[in-house]
Structure 1
Amino acid sequence: MKIPKTILISRTDNIGDVVLTLPMAGIIKKYFPDILIGFLGRAYTKDIIESCVFVDEFIDFNDFLNKSVSICGKRIEAIIHVLPDPVIAKRAFFLAIPQRIGTTNRIYHWLYCNKLIRLSRKNSDLHEAQLNLKLLSCLSIHQQFSFPEIYSSYGFCASPALPESLHAQISKDKFNVIFHPKSKGNGKEWPLEHYIALAKLLDKDKFNVFITGTKQEEPKLEILFSQIGDLVINLCGKLSLKVFVSFIANCDGLVASGTGPIHVAAALRIHALGIFPSIKPIHPGRWQPIGQNAYTFCNQTECNLCKKQISCECMQNIEPNAIAKKLEELYLLKFPVK
């Protein structure tokens, strides 16, 4: 395959999926520094994609379908369909992008792509980020990348600076930790009563606790605020995505289930404490946060409710004490006993 001068990475789903795809841009730049990289995504994830120093241009999904697009003014020479999508595959074909890379297990890729890679995610033991990188075999990059190689390739940085009113809420004398309890229904969630118990376990003189989420999720957290409102700071619906990324970067840790912010935290190298079920394919082996300060909590026994509802027994069995113990260890790393 001829090495293209421009490559479009297509991943048009959620924040966590996008974050775990960003190392692809970093690794392409490592092997081929002069390639210009575009990233095709939804407007919702634009701020995440533009936070990656290895992405030269964000291209909006709707613009790609309806307009003539380029990467930094240059023709798109290759597209990698990281997330298979028949509409995008067909559009890339009719735009006559010279190199169109997809996987063999999508029938429409046989119609619209001219470079097919055998890749099955369903039964693989590899992490999602490692599976993404398998698609780079189209560039003769066949290495299986380790987690350290992946997190060193994020190229993820936070901007802009926090508003002073928000920055003032971050304590210099405490461990600032974010609880992000909800997942917009995209994953298994740790029970709210466990977040409540965790907040009560943490010493208020040591920990500054923030609750984040969307405005739509705030009513679902009413029981949490009614019981521990005096122990936490409610930021639900008060932060744009760009400001939220900067806020995460300025905190010390984040606790969440398998949702986008846990991957953002890991990419920003703060302490990311991810809580996961054991059932495949949503287990930590596939979706754990990847970072030098990432930690995973998982009950190894599957329950019968894992496939049926957002909260289940194997998530309930992950004790708040385990998270509190880890946060206490991290507090002592920040403030060593003299």
Structure 2
Amino acid sequence: MDNKPEKLKNVKKVLVLRTDHIGEVLLSTVVVDAIKKHYPQAHITFATSSLAKSIVEAKKGIDEIIVFDTLGNRNLWPSLFGWYTQIAFKGYDLAILLNSNKFLHLVVFLAGIKTRIGFNRKWPFLLTHKISDVRAEGSKHEADYNLELLETIGIKESGFKPELKVSDLEKNNIRGLLSERSVDLKKKIIVVQPGSSFVQKRWPKEHFVELIKILLDHYDVNVVLSGSSEEFELCDDITKQLDKKVYNFAGKLNLKQLKSLLSIADLLIANDSGPMHISAALGRQIIAIFGRGTKGTGPNRWGPLSDKSIVFHKPFECSDCYNEKCPYDFKCLKAILPQEIFEAVVINKLLN
């Protein structure tokens, strides 16, 4: 670890940057809690993606949010000046860069932020404090890797978990929306998230169909399918294979509404995905399904940070988990059987 100074003094304004997917951004918010613990009067600005903005808005301790859209965009030169105008001459004492991106490194350097901490890759010479990026090894949780970065400025913390709050108004609004779709609010609600950002994370559609059939045969509950608009067809295919009524809300909810739905759900069954992390941060019950066996891709690094979660993961000795065309036909995911998950619901009394 380069440069191990004493704890920084007189930190009044902090810029935290994490500009990628929902789960990654949410797991980065633990840094906000650590900064507030050590600098309770500090003004914290969080730069994030437009995709994750509404999640950051629900995080206590953040004073200002700005949008830097780096996700899926390799040519960010046209965006650089706009970012610069948002952070230059604002008096930031500290910038914390939680996803390595040369354009983010460059803009905080050009903005003249005195202390700039991040991981030792992608133009790290623009940083004042840095550590080796060993996150791909997956020896600890992503949230702890984020906290470890603060050791470069004399802050050593661990054990923080993301926390989100949902107001009573937001809960009532989502209940109203469910009622409009004839969801019986007197019954318990199971939210099922069959999609994920990568095909390597997706439990087979047929397994979801079988699991939902078993659950509806044994419990008088509502099953609500959630997902993005791109996942509507996947959810629609699932509903068409079921005899009993389920509700397809894929593409029908914005992220704020999804957060509200998860806050009132009795159980979420999901692949490794953003909604899984949101539900964990809300303190709700979760069954999380993980594939992939490559180091740094499994639940040891990316699992839900919640005591109310049950994780299913059956990794094999594979080494190509970043390939969308799995040479082993996703046997790690297929090995997790619907009956196993149903038994976990029963044994742990998740719907009692």
**TM range, normalised to the smaller chain?**
0.7 to 0.9
Q: Which amino acid aligns with 2:313?
A: C
Secondary structure, counterpart of 1:246 in structure 2: helix
Question: Identical aligned pairs, as a percentage?
Answer: 28
Question: Distance between the aligned counterparts of 1:287 and 1:243, measured in 2?
Answer: 24
- 1:246 matches 2:260: yes
Query: Which aligned pairs between 1:127-276 and structure 2 lie closer than 5 A?
Result: 127-143=141-157, 145=158, 149-151=159-161, 154-159=162-167, 160-161=170-171, 162-168=173-179, 171=184, 173-185=186-198, 187-203=200-216, 205-228=219-242, 230-276=244-290
TM-score by length of 2: 0.84
Give the equivalent residue in structure 2 for 1:299. Answer: 314
Query: Which aligned pairs between 1:54-65 and structure 2 lie closer than 5 A?
Result: 54-61=61-68, 65=81
- 1:317 matches 2:343: no
Deviation at 1:286, TM superposition (A): 1.3
Q: Which amino acid aligns with 2:280?
A: A
Mapped contact 1:80–1:100 kept (Cα < 8 A) = yes
Mapped contact 2:21–2:274 kept (Cα < 8 A) = yes
For residues 134-154 of structure 1, give each alpha carbon's deviation from its aligned partner in whole angstroms, at most 9, with x where no partner exists: 1111331224x2xxx322xx2
- 1:19 matches 2:26: yes
Deviation at 1:309, TM superposition (A): 3.0
Runs of at least 5 residues in structure 2 that lack an aligned partner in the other structure: 70-78
For residues 82-139 of structure 1, give each alpha carbon's deviation from its aligned partner in whole angstroms, at most 9, with x where no partner exists: 10110111111111111111222x15111x1112223421224111111111111133
Do the aligned partners of residues 229 and 10 (structure 1) sit closer, same or farther apart at CA in structure 2, a change above 3 Å counting? Answer: farther
Deviation at 1:280, TM superposition (A): 2.0
Runs of at least 5 residues in structure 1 that lack an aligned partner in the other structure: none
- 1:37 matches 2:44: yes
Mapped contact 1:170–1:176 kept (Cα < 8 A) = no
Give the equivalent residue in structure 2 for 1:80. Answer: 96
Mapped contact 1:117–1:135 kept (Cα < 8 A) = yes
Question: Distance between the aligned counterparts of 2:68 and 2:142, measured in 1?
Answer: 22
Question: Distance between the aligned counterparts of 2:278 and 2:55, measured in 1?
Answer: 8
Q: Which amino acid aligns with 2:316?
A: T
Deviation at 1:28, TM superposition (A): 1.6
Higher mean C-alpha displacement, 50-59 vs 27-36: 27-36
Deviation at 1:238, TM superposition (A): 0.8
Give the equivalent residue in structure 2 for 1:290. Answer: 305
Do the aligned partners of residues 11 and 304 (structure 1) sit closer, same or farther apart at CA in structure 2, a change above 3 Å counting? Answer: closer
Question: Distance between the aligned counterparts of 1:227 and 1:276, measured in 2?
Answer: 24
Deviation at 1:293, TM superposition (A): 1.0
Give the equivalent residue in structure 2 for 1:281. Answer: 296
Mapped contact 2:13–2:91 kept (Cα < 8 A) = yes
